[in-house]
Amino acid sequence: MSQSIDLPKIDELAQELATIQQTGSKRIALLGSRHVPITHQHLIEMMSYALVLAGNRIVTSGATGTNAAAIRGAMRADPNMLTVILPQSLDRQSAESRKQIAKVMHLVENPANDQLSLAEASSLCNKEIISRCQQLICFAFHDSRTLLQTCREAEEQRKVVTLFYFD
């Protein structure tokens, strides 16, 4: 009995191997849930800090929780290595987020999405973020529809995706 070879799967594995073996800096997207215990936030912050110290660029959004932790870590290591892409304009962000984002050097706003729901704007924002990265690290719950859809879209684009579940 002969086995058929799944060429798209081989291409995906080859892309993953190439990304993992790449020794130069990478553009890594760090995304995740807003509802994250403080201990997990500290771990995400340390990961972001270490990734930047290793020469990687971090791309994230401006929400609380996971994204705020990623921003804190990257800002502590090297603010120039961080890009924050907002789902809507800066005015639409929470006061807490605006205070943190005010210090970000590379900030992209999306005021054209102000009329959309936050879920719709976040989905579009996540698409933009994964289009700018080589790898996605995502922290989600099993019912995080927008984040899980972002992971599927990143995989379809042959990005290396690492998904951590909180539950």
Residue type, 49: Y
Banded model confidence at residue 64, pLDDT cuts 50, 70, 90:
confident
What does the longest C-alpha to C-alpha distance in the chain come to? 63
Banded model confidence at residue 167, pLDDT cuts 50, 70, 90:
confident
pLDDT at position 22 is 60
Residue type, 71: I
pLDDT score of 55 more than 90: yes
CA–CA dist 55, 77 (Å, integer): 10
DSSP state, residue 30: E
pTM of the model: 0.85
Q: List the domain boundaries for the chain.
A: 25-165
For the chain, the average pLDDT equals 89
Contact 53, 77 (CB under 8 A): yes
- Give the model confidence (pLDDT) of 92-142 as tens digits: 988 888 888 988 999 999 999 999 999 899 999 999 999 999 999 999 999
Q: What are phi and psi of 102, to 5 degrees?
A: -55, -25
pLDDT at position 13 is 64
pLDDT at position 25 is 85
Backbone torsion region of residue 84, taken as left when φ is above 0, otherwise alpha when ψ lies between -120 and 50, otherwise beta: beta
CATH architecture of the domain 25-165 equals 3-Layer(aba) Sandwich (3.40)
User: Which tokens hold the place of 93?
Assistant: 């962000």
pLDDT at position 14 is 65
Q: Which residue has the tokens 């291409």?
A: 11
Banded model confidence at residue 7, pLDDT cuts 50, 70, 90:
low
CA–CA dist 148, 153 (Å, integer): 9
3-class DSSP state of 86:
coil
The mean pLDDT value for 53-74 works out to 94
What number of other Cβ atoms are within 10 A of residue 33's Cβ? 21
CA–CA dist 30, 138 (Å, integer): 6
User: Which tokens hold the place of 60?
Assistant: 């994230």
CA–CA dist 110, 4 (Å, integer): 45
